């Protein structure tokens, strides 16, 4: 399997698992019934859980871009070490982004998001240059 496809899978798995901790927090704060339902005035989750939820939403939004670029490169048969490296960098930038967003570290959050965006730009550039 190409590196970029492997890291697309890993990024998808990461994105697919980010919801678990904040849903557990929601159940602990609200109780299982309110966590599963639609309470009138829901209790807010812990601050870290609210930040992780935002990180998860951001990961979902950016997964669309990453997947489209990686799958396009694969569809046109573009095999370039820069694309594989960019995919690895993107994955680790997303791991860091989720962690530092959860822990409330703003400068590192922005830096990790920017690194991920630059990785996307590298993949797009390689596709457009092909």
pLDDT at 118 over 90: yes
- Per the structure, the count of domains in the chain is 1
Looking at every residue in the chain, the average pLDDT score rounds to 96
CATH of the domain at 70: 1.20.120.550
- Tell me the C-alpha distance between 130 and 126, whole Å: 6
According to the model, what pLDDT value does residue 36 have? 87
Tens-digit pLDDT profile for residues 95-108: 999 999 999 999 99
H-only helix segments in the chain: 3-17, 19-30, 32-36, 47-75, 81-102, 106-129
Domain that holds residue 72: 3-37+45-129
Tens-digit pLDDT profile for residues 57-72: 999 999 999 999 999 9
What b/e string do you get for 2-18 counting C-beta neighbours within 10 Å, with b at 16 or more?
ebbeebbebbeebbeeb
- Tell me the C-alpha distance between 22 and 43, whole Å: 13
Question: The pTM is what?
Answer: 0.94
């Amino acid at each position: 399997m190409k590196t970029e496809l492997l890291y697309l899978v890993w990024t998808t798995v990461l994105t697919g698992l980010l919801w678990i901790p904040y849903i557990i927090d929601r159940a602990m704060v609200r109780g299982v019934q309110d966590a599963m339902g639609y309470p009138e005035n829901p209790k807010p989750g812990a601050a870290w859980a609210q930040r992780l939820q935002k990180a998860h939403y951001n990961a979902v939004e950016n997964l669309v871009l990453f997947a489209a670029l990686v799958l396009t490169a694969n569809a046109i048969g573009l095999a370039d070490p820069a694309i594989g490296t960019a995919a690895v960098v993107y994955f680790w930038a997303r791991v860091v982004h989720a962690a530092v967003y959860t822990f409330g570290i703003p400068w590192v959050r922005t830096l990790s998001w920017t690194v991920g965006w630059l990785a996307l730009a590298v993949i797009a550039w390689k596709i457009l240059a092909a």
